[in-house]
Amino acid sequence: MSKKALFIIPPDRFNEDELFHPKEVLENAGVDVTIASTKTGEITGDYEGKVHAEVIFHDVNVNEYDVIAVIGGSGTIDHLWGNEELTGFLKQAYEQKVLVSGICAGSVAVAQTGLLAGRKATCYPVDQMITELQANKAEYVVQNVIAHEDIITSNGPDGAKDFGKSLADALR
């Protein structure tokens, strides 16, 4: 049976590289990728890229997926940080042994669950994100990807392909 990934993006202004690069890597590895957001339909990225969100993330069963990834972009800060439904969804996924991951601002959304407390993590190297990671007791490290067995974080566009590879490796 093929593995399944759920990529959660903001309802506008997702980062194209952070979505499309890992998606391509996973699809090439035979993983079925579903795009989710807080709404369905066409969503426009930071650089006018377009994608279709098929589902609203909190309407799906976390158990249907092998990995959940929160994608970054300027919209992630506005719409997904502090989103209680998302925090609950990620915690539930983690409890069900689903791999939880985030890239760039998405890493911060993962940290906000408290699941990275006392653990190494990475995000985009700007003060706003680093401070937020540290506020959630994660140890910030400058690296493209930090892969724990149960949680993977990535820094952003530079690490997007590596992020995809680490997700694919974890699903093997």
pLDDT at position 87 is 98
- Residues 87-100: pLDDT tens digits? 999 999 999 999 99
pLDDT at position 164 is 98
- For 34, the token pair is 């579903």
Q: Is 38 helix (H, G, I), strand (E, B) or coil?
A: coil
Residues of the chain with pLDDT under 50: none
pLDDT at position 29 is 97
- Residues 124-148: pLDDT tens digits? 999 999 999 999 999 999 999 999 9
**Domains in the chain, ordered, with CATH?**
4-158 (3.40.50.880)
CA separation (Å) from 35 to 56, 88, 135, 156, 171?
Answer: 9, 18, 29, 18, 18
pLDDT, the chain, mean: 97
Dihedral, CA of residue 118, residue 133, residue 35 and residue 6, to nearest 10: 0
